[in-house]
């Protein structure tokens, strides 16, 4: 089934520029409808209302994803927004696609990508690494090996969206305020919508419990703190705040706790599962969401 690439709302960024650091966060609404593309400086002039209006199609898409995959909706949309920064515009395509089967297959491919990002999988062959519908929206050859190789950058970028503009896109209270204002139920623009986006109060770091995973490993195959830090850092960048291990005299450590720098990393690591298993230097490690205990 052929899939044509939809018109892009933003200037495309070739995949071979992935190492560039000036790309910045997700682009913001223009100051005037005549603007053809947006720059980071424009973002500084946007209000919360501006950002929500610009992202209305993402908000509608989020509602659809919640109905289809409630546990993964935020992460799927954050992944697609990150891909849009690379010029792979899945969001616009899905919003304009009337073929439900194609949309569901794109969602399934997004789940494959998220699974690839969280696990220590070997390099994939061309056959079992295919994501054909997502690849049809790229100009270069594109498969799951891209995410295996660029795992740390992808996870960091997705977490940045979840902790940044995602806080607005996924905030149903802000959606309700905007709807009430646009319908005339609120005569004046609420302060929550009027304030500049860059003046939003800093989001306090989530409590350590919300950023933590329980760790369990076999006493026959003990792991050091350094083993665990290196494992997560190599795959997802500087995401670990601390690792503590059981320290009982005469016993090899069997349990531990990892605290990440952001709650978003926890969701990306466990990807909706209660418990996930990793292999570190040939030794098994089980991670369990702290909040599920």
Q: What is the pLDDT along the chain (293 residues), one digit of tens a residue?
A: 444 444 333 333 333 333 322 223 344 333 332 222 333 444 456 899 999 999 999 999 999 999 888 889 999 999 999 998 888 899 999 999 999 999 999 999 999 999 888 876 665 565 668 899 999 998 777 888 888 777 877 888 898 899 889 989 999 999 999 999 999 999 999 999 998 887 455 556 677 778 888 888 887 888 899 999 999 988 888 899 999 888 777 778 878 889 998 888 888 888 777 778 888 999 988 888 765 43
pLDDT of res. 163: 86
- What's 152's DSSP letter? H
Domain residues for the domain of 164 are: 15-172
pLDDT of res. 181: 94
Q: Are residues 150 and 269 in the same domain?
A: no
pLDDT of res. 111: 94
Q: Are residues 131 and 259 in the same domain?
A: no
Angstrom distance (rounded) from CA 243 to CA 226: 9
Angstrom distance (rounded) from CA 38 to CA 42: 6
pLDDT of res. 142: 84
- pTM (whole model) above 0.75: no
pLDDT of res. 251: 73
Angstrom distance (rounded) from CA 133 to CA 21: 28
Q: Are residues 223 and 145 in the same domain?
A: no
Q: Are residues 155 and 225 in the same domain?
A: no
Asked if residue 191 is part of any domain, the answer here is no
Q: Are residues 64 and 141 in the same domain?
A: yes
Exposure string of 13-46, with b = 16+ CB inside 10 Å and e = fewer, is eebeebeeeeeeebbbbbeeeeeeebeeebbeeb
Angstrom distance (rounded) from CA 270 to CA 288: 8
Asked if residue 202 is part of any domain, the answer here is no
Indicate which CATH number applies to the domain containing 230. 3.30.70.330
Asked if residue 195 is part of any domain, the answer here is no
Q: Are residues 99 and 143 in the same domain?
A: yes
Q: Are residues 143 and 247 in the same domain?
A: no
Residue 155 exposure: Cα atoms within 13 Å on the Cβ side:
32
Asked if residue 199 is part of any domain, the answer here is no
Q: How many domains does the chain have?
A: 2
Asked if residue 142 is part of any domain, the answer here is yes
Asked if residue 192 is part of any domain, the answer here is no
Q: Are residues 127 and 231 in the same domain?
A: no
Asked if residue 155 is part of any domain, the answer here is yes
pLDDT of res. 124: 58
Q: Are residues 113 and 35 in the same domain?
A: yes
Asked if residue 194 is part of any domain, the answer here is no
């Amino acid at each position: 089934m052929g899939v044509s690439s939809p018109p892009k709302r933003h200037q495309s960024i070739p995949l071979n520029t992935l190492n560039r650091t000036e790309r910045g966060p997700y682009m913001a609404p223009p100051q005037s409808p005549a603007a053809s593309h947006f720059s980071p400086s424009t973002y500084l002039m946007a209000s919360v209302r501006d950002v929500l209006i610009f992202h209305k199609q993402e908000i509608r898409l989020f509602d659809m994803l919640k109905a289809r995959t409630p546990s993964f909706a935020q992460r799927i949309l954050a992944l697609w927004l990150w891909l849009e920064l690379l010029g792979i515009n899945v969001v616009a395509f899905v919003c304009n696609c009337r073929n439900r089967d194609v949309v569901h297959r794109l969602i399934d491919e997004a789940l494959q990508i998220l699974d690839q990002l969280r696990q220590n999988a070997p390099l994939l062959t061309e056959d079992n690494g295919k994501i054909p519908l997502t690849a049809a929206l790229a100009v270069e050859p594109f498969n799951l090996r891209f995410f295996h190789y660029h795992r740390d950058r992808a996870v960091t970028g997705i977490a940045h969206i979840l902790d940044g503009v995602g806080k607005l896109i996924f905030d149903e209270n802000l959606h309700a305020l905007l709807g009430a204002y646009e319908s005339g139920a609120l005569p004046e623009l609420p302060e929550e919508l009027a304030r500049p986006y860059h003046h939003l109060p800093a989001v306090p770091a989530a409590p350590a419990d919300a950023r933590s995973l329980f760790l369990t490993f076999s006493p026959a195959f003990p792991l050091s703190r350094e083993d665990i830090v290196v494992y997560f850092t190599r795959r997802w960048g500087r995401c670990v705040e601390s690792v503590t291990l059981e320290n009982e005299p005469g016993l090899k450590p069997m349990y531990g706790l990892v605290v990440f720098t952001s709650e978003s990393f926890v969701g990306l690591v466990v990807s909706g599962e209660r418990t996930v298993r990793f292999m570190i230097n040939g030794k098994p490690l089980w991670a369990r969401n702290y909040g599920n205990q």
